[in-house]
Structures are given as C-alpha cells and as structure tokens.
C-alpha cells in the first residue's frame, strides 16, 4: 500500500533506488491491461504478421472480432480470473543446420496478452539480469557476446566450457520458474495467469498434449521466461568469479585451466542433467556461428557453407524474373548478412 511510499527516505537515497518500485508491484495486472499497453502489444503482434493459432483466427480477422465485444469479454474474464488461455498449435520448422525445432503458436488473442505481459515484466526483470547474458535482451546482441568471448581468450583463457541448453526448456520446473517470478511479481492474479500459460498445453495434429514441464517456445513471453530461468545460473557463476557469455541457451565459459573449466561444469550440473557438456581448447570452441583461432574471430565452417548455398540459390536464374530484380534481391541479402558476420573481418588484433 501507500505506506511503502512513506518509508522512502527523502534525500540522496531516493535517487539510488529509483529503479525499485515496490509500491507498484501489486498493481502489475492493471498495468498489463492498460489500454495503451494493450494497443502497443497488438501493434507488435500485427507487425509480426504471424500465423493463426489453434482457433484459426487470423490477424486480419482479429480487429473485427475484438470490436464485436469479444475483447471486452476477454478483459472481464482476465480481471475475474475466469480467462483460460488456449493451447498452442505445434508446428515443425527446419533449422539451418539440419535439425528441427517445434515451437507452439498461441492464438492471436493469447499473443496479444502475452506481449502485454512481456512489456510490463521486461523493465522489471531485465535490469537485474547478468551483464554476461546477451540473448533476447534490449540493447544487447550476439556480436557483443562473441566479442566478450574473444576478449576473455585474449586474457589467456585457453579452455572453453561449451554448453548447449537447448533441451533444457523441454523440462522446466514450473514451480521453480514461478518462484523466480514471485521474487519481483507480487500480483497473484498475474502469477496465476502466467502459470496458466505454462500449462495451457499443446495441440499436435489434433491431439492434445499436456505441458506439465515444458516451457512452450513461440509465445512473446517465452524468451523473457527463459532468461528468468537461467538468470539464477548466471548469478551463481558470477558469484564464483567464473567468466562466461550466454546467449539464450547457447553458453560458453572461458577458463585458464582445465581444472577450473571442470569446476564450471560442476557448478552448472543441475542445469545440465545428462546433456551435452564439454571442456575443449578455445581453438575448437564455437559460439553463435563463429570460431576463435589465432586470436581472430572467424566464420564457422558451417556458416561458410550456409552462405555459399544461399548465394547459389539466389543466383540460380531458372526462376523467370528480371535481372534487375534478382540483383536487387542479392544485394539485399548480402547487405544483411555482411552486417552480422562483418565483425569477423574486423577485430584481428591480438
């Protein structure tokens, strides 16, 4: 209540605590449902041009549906705790490296609600995340993570602990995640809603699958929840002085000795269970599409192969369009690609 405000000392302390807002944390559910917040959430969902969820409603159909009074029903249900999120629609997409990913597509309505939640929770949680965490976070990107690894190697750390947490999110303890959320979210209604999203389930070819453990990927809230889960890992490693960079579920820690590297592994063993874990020389390490050899950041061989294949696909001209348009497409492609992988060419000091 407002007595929390009266506890705030006047003077210097206030400026140091400007990022903490205990007086508002009970109020988060209202913040989520603010008209302006919902509007920007919808704008984002629409801009993504995503596919329809399990109820088959497309982005084009949504505005009319919402205007017809259905959105009013949704908000009143949300406020009364009666709202039930729909299961996600499971799809399968090929990864560039040949593997498969199976994200779930929430309905348009649920995407708007999740996005609205994410917009409120991100400013609450992101400032508390580790400076060594680079994935899915505002103002941060993969290049920064790669450069971080590069500079750690330059400090003489020759051993890389390479870990892939990609299967980690298939088995996430919902209670533990809710505990982490509860540290900053006091609003019980919001906690309950997020919990419902975790358990909403999956429809795979008309068959319903429970989601008692999995953290379904594909919703606007999912990346933030992933970072909240692995933030405890980051904090633990930092407390012990280990040096690392994490980009979502891709992780690399650099150590000066194999022994220290193995200590890192023990530290994160809870998160690993039986999953892939390695301590290798940094020259054999790979991270976010790059390798680190002779003090340089280089393209990973797989990245080079992918690049060549893409260029060949674009320059194969059996697809009767004008030369001019084709040239435009190739230029567009090269611009974006070089923009990301261009850092390999720079940074050859060391």
Partner DNA sequence: AATGATCCAAC
Partner RNA sequence: AUUGUUGGAUCAUU
Contacts with RNA by CB under 7 A lie at 44-45, 48-51, 89, 91, 93-94, 101, 103, 105-106, 111, 115, 118, 122, 135-141, 143, 217-220, 222-224, 248, 335-336, 339-340
> Residue 115 binds what, of DNA, RNA, none (CB under 5 to 8 Å, by partner type)?
RNA
SS3 of residue 96 by DSSP: coil
What is the spatial distance between Cα 218 and Cα 90, in angstroms, rounded to a whole number?
Answer: 9
For the residues of 172-224, what is the DSSP string, one character each?
Answer: --HHHHHHHHHTT---HHHHHHHHHHHTS-EEETTEEE--SS---BTBTTHHH
SS3 of residue 291 by DSSP: strand
Is residue 289 within the footprint of DNA (CB under 7 A)?
Answer: yes
> Residue 111 binds what, of RNA, DNA, none (CB under 5 to 8 Å, by partner type)?
RNA
Least distance to RNA, CB of residue 274, Å: 25
Is residue 96 within the footprint of DNA (CB under 7 A)?
Answer: yes
Q: Judged by CB under 7 A, which stretch of 28-36, 82-90, 136-144, 255-263 contacts DNA? A: 136-144
Please identify, using beta-carbon distances, which residue of 43 and 315 lies nearer to DNA: 43
Strands 88-90 and 202-204 turn out to be parallel
Structure tokens at 33: 């449902």
Is residue 316 within the footprint of DNA (CB under 7 A)?
Answer: no
**HEC sequence for 304-348:** HHHHHHHHHHHHCCCCCCCHHHHHHHHHHHHHHHHHHHHHHCCCC
> Residue 301 binds what, of DNA, RNA, none (CB under 5 to 8 Å, by partner type)?
none
Least distance to RNA, CB of residue 106, Å: 6
Q: Mask: binding to DNA, 23-52, rule CB under 7 A, as x and -? A: --------------------x--xx-x---
Q: Rg of the chain over CA atoms, in angstroms?
A: 23
Is residue 219 within the footprint of DNA (CB under 7 A)?
Answer: no
> Residue 50 binds what, of RNA, DNA, none (CB under 5 to 8 Å, by partner type)?
RNA
Structure tokens at 264: 């890192």
Give the CB-side neighbour count of residue 107, counting CA atoms within 13 A. 19
Interaction site with DNA (CB under 7 A): 43, 46-47, 49, 96, 135-136, 141-142, 166, 223, 247-250, 288-289, 303, 306, 310, 332-333, 336-337, 339-341
């Amino acid at each position: 209540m407002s007595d929390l405000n009266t506890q705030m000392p006047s003077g210097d302390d206030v400026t140091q605590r400007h990022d903490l807002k205990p007086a508002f944390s009970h109020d988060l559910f209202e913040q989520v449902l603010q008209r302006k917040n919902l509007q920007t959430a919808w704008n984002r969902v629409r801009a993504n041009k995503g596919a329809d969820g399990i109820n088959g409603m497309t982005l084009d159909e949504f505005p009319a549906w919402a205007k017809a009074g259905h959105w009013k029903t949704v908000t009143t249900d949300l406020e009364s705790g009666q709202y039930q999120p729909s299961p996600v629609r499971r799809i399968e997409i090929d990864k560039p490296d040949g593997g498969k990913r199976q994200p779930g597509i929430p309905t348009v309505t649920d995407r708007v609600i999740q996005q609205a939640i994410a917009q409120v929770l991100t400013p609450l949680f992101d400032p508390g995340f580790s400076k060594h965490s680079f994935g899915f976070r505002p103002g941060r990107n993969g290049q920064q993570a790669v450069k971080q690894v590069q500079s750690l190697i330059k400090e003489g750390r020759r051993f890389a602990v390479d870990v892939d947490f990609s299967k980690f999110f298939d088995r996430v303890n919902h209670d533990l995640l809710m505990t982490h959320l509860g540290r900053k979210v006091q609003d019980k209604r919001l906690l309950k809603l997020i919990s419902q999203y975790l358990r909403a389930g999956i429809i795979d070819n008309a068959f319903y699958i429970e989601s008692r453990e999995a953290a379904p990927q594909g919703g606007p809230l999912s990346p933030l929840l992933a970072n909240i889960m692995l933030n405890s890992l980051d904090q633990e490693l930092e407390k012990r002085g280990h040096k690392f960079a994490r980009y979502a579920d891709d992780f690399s820690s650099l150590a000066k000795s194999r022994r220290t590297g193995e200590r890192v592994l023990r530290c994160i063993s809870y998160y690993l269970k039986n999953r892939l874990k390695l301590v290798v020389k940094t020259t054999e390490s790979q991270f976010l599409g790059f390798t680190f050899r002779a003090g340089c950041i280089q393209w990973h061989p797989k990245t080079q192969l992918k690049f060549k294949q893409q260029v060949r696909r674009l320059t194969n001209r059996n697809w009767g369009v004008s030369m001019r348009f084709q040239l435009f497409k190739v230029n567009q492609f090269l611009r974006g690609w070089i923009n990301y992988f261009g850092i390999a060419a720079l940074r050859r000091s060391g």
